[in-house]
Amino acid sequence: PNLTDASFRDEFWKQDAGSGAMWDCCHGVGLRGTYMACCESVPLMIDTAKQHKGTRPLIGIISSFGGTSYTFNVAYGVGKAAADRLASDMSVQLSKYNVDTVALYPGLVKTEGNIEMEKRGEWEEASGGFDLGMGETPRFSGRAMALLAANSDMMKERSGKVVVVSELAKELGFTDEDGRLPPSIRSLKFILPNFVFPQ
């Protein structure tokens, strides 16, 4: 399926008619790939936690608010809900090994694909009118993971839960690479300009 144009927001029966391509992309590639990466890496993480007392390895699963409310399309939302559940259920089994998991919720991300859509003039239709200028870089999520990994007490407390990147940044005092603190999708700073008073 084309993930870089407005068809990403089509009705599910149009996206997957006869092929299941969008479903396979979100689940067969995205979710399955995440699960298999965890299966391969967890034994190494368990060994690390055993050999280095006080170290709590961290698995960060990139998810989104699409796991809790409709976003983009049906397959996407179901995949993100499953990613959240993956982080939650893995934490149950991994807690006795001192390995933690989180479902990380970035906000609107300035990915290479999103930036290209904006350059081609397709972003507004494909995103439903979101202002990409309010977005965050992928590095912002990396900073969140680095700070979580450096704080074993915080990781243990949040293991199996959803962590919203911009809300963690506000709590811990870190910013995106340009020095900004992008707003949480749950905040009025995001909701008002994108939904209530769009330009």
Residues carrying an active site annotation: 76
Q: Which runs of consecutive H residues, i.e. helices, occur in the chain?
A: 12-15, 21-23, 32-51, 74-94, 112-119, 123-127, 138-149, 152-158, 165-172, 188-191
Helices (H) and strands (E) in the chain, counts: 10, 3
Euclidean distance between CA atoms 79 and 108, whole angstroms: 17
Burial class (CB in 10 A: 0-12, 13-18, 19+), 7: middle
CA angle 9, 13, 16 (to 5 degrees): 80
3: closest CA among 63, 81, 73?
Answer: 73
**8 A C-beta contact, residue 29 and residue 77:** no
